[in-house]
């Protein structure tokens, strides 16, 4: 028997102290929730860290004669009740739309706690990074005709291409990260890969902490709607300009400096994030909702670990992968 809480249990318990997005003023139709979204996020954290990608796998793990599972089961109980397998499945499937709001809320909280811009300019970097689906690839010639040659094909995913990654079939993880000594995820969404970056950017910008004064992006974010939203919130959008290089306008040297700062924040974070959760090759599940559940849930876990490191006076953002491996 463990004499103290395991790391996994500590992270799950820490969820009780996270700030939470406000409930909608008008209650949605249907039966009132018996269990809170906070309880569902606790289960999601356990599933991702222990690589349990179904409700059945989660419940099988909790039924084991294991000290960690014994500590976790009471944590997943509310009002003296433990959800059934069907309840876990239904509520986890409905959770992804609520995760971007939670990520933004926790990101703003971490900024207020860490004060990452005390010695740096108040900037956030935005970008998207590819995540391949675990399902089969739906080739364009088949997709155009609606033909599905194999049942393994993930029909909800999309195609996209970047200068660095080339073509891929799957998803885009859209992220906003603080620029400074510590990389804090501030906003996130997951979409099919064929979704344009500037289409999602306004939602990322809207979730940023009020302290952010500069939004740094590449050419994809240099769009009128993104620039207008930044101006309305008293922020400056600094994005790469289209056209033949080298540029010779008055602001080129300033943009070059900001672009370097951006590349030192968002690009390393994208690589670090996929390395921590070992998703460089592909996601472990198929389908948009399930992929959103894991990818956005992993962002919440990263935020949780940062908060835990801060409370234990550990270097922020260091050793996250071995830490989660030991949980």
* 29-57 pLDDT tens trace: 767 788 999 999 999 999 999 999 999 99
Backbone angles phi, psi at 101, to 5 degrees: -65, -40
Query: What integer best gives the mean pLDDT of the chain?
Result: 90
Residue 23 pLDDT > 90: no
Whether 159 and 279 share a structural domain: yes
Give 261-313 pLDDT, tens digit per residue: 888 888 899 999 999 998 888 899 999 999 999 999 999 999 999 999 999 99
Shared domain check, 150 and 202: yes
User: What does the pLDDT read at residue 2?
Assistant: 43
Contact predicate 296/103, CB 8 Å? yes
In terms of pLDDT, which residue wins out, 240 or 232? 232
For residue 85, being part of any structural domain is answered with yes
Residues in the chain: 327
Q: Which domain holds residue 124?
A: 99-296
Instruction: Tell me which of 37, 63, 94 is where a domain ends.
Output: 94
Into how many domains does the chain fold? 2
**What average pLDDT does the segment 166-192 reach?**
94
Structure tokens at 56: 């059945």
Tell me: do 195 and 269 sit in the same domain. Answer: yes
Residue 207 lies in a domain: yes
- In this structure, the answer to whether residues 219 and 260 fall within a common structural domain is yes
Q: What is the mean pLDDT of residues 198-223?
A: 93
Dihedral sign for Cα 289, 295, 298, 300, please.
negative
In contact, 294 and 250? CB cutoff 8 Å = no
Is the pLDDT assigned to residue 255 strictly greater than 90? Answer: no
Domain identity same for 29 and 103? no
Three-state DSSP at 29 gives: coil
Say whether both 187 and 260 belong to one domain: yes
The SS3 call for residue 129 is: strand
Q: What is the pTM of this model?
A: 0.92
Residue 137 in domain = yes
The answer to the question of residue 325 being in a domain is no
Same domain? 59 vs 104:
no
Neighbour tally for 147: CB within 10 Å: 11
Residue 323 belongs to some domain of the structure: no
Q: What pLDDT was estimated at residue 280? A: 82
pLDDT at 165: 72
Residues 286 and 146 in one domain: yes
Distance CA 48, CA 297 (A): 8
CA–CA separation, 107 vs 120, rounded Å?
17
Note whether 128 and 215 are same-domain residues: yes
Mean pLDDT for the stretch of residues 142-166: 87
């Amino acid at each position: 028997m463990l004499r103290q809480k395991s790391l996994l249990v500590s992270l799950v318990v820490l969820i009780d102290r996270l700030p939470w997005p406000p409930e909608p003023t008008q209650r949605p139709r249907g039966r009132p929730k018996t269990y809170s979204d906070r309880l569902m996020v606790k289960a999601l954290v356990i599933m991702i860290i222990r690589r349990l990608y179904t409700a059945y796998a989660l419940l099988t793990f909790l039924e084991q004669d294991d000290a960690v599972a014994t500590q976790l089961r009471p944590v997943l109980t509310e009002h003296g009740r433990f959800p059934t397998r069907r309840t876990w499945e239904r509520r986890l499937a409905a959770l992804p739309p609520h995760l971007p709001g939670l990520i933004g809320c926790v990101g703003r909280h971490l900024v207020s706690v860490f004060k990452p811009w005390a010695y740096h300019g108040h900037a956030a970097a935005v970008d998207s990074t590819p995540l391949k689906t675990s399902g089969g690839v739906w080739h364009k010639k088949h997709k155009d005709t609606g033909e599905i040659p194999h049942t393994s094909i993930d029909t909800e995913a999309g195609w996209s291409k970047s200068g660095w990654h080339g073509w891929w079939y799957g998803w885009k993880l859209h992220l906003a990260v603080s620029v400074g000594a510590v990389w804090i995820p501030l906003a996130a969404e997951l979409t099919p890969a064929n979704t344009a970056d500037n289409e999602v950017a306004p939602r990322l910008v809207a979730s940023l902490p009020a302290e952010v004064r500069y939004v740094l992006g590449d050419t994809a974010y240099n769009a009128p709607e993104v620039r207008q939203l930044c101006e309305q919130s008293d922020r400056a959008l600094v994005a790469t300009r289209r056209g033949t290089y080298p540029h010779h306008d008055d602001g080129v040297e300033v943009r070059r400096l900001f672009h370097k700062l951006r590349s030192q924040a968002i690009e390393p974070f994208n690589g670090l994030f996929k390395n921590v959760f070992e998703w460089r090759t592909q996601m472990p599940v198929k389908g948009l909702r399930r992929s959103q559940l894991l990818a956005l849930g992993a962002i919440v876990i990263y935020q949780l670990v940062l908060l835990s490191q801060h409370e234990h006076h550990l270097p922020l953002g260091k050793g996250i992968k071995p830490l989660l491996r030991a949980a």
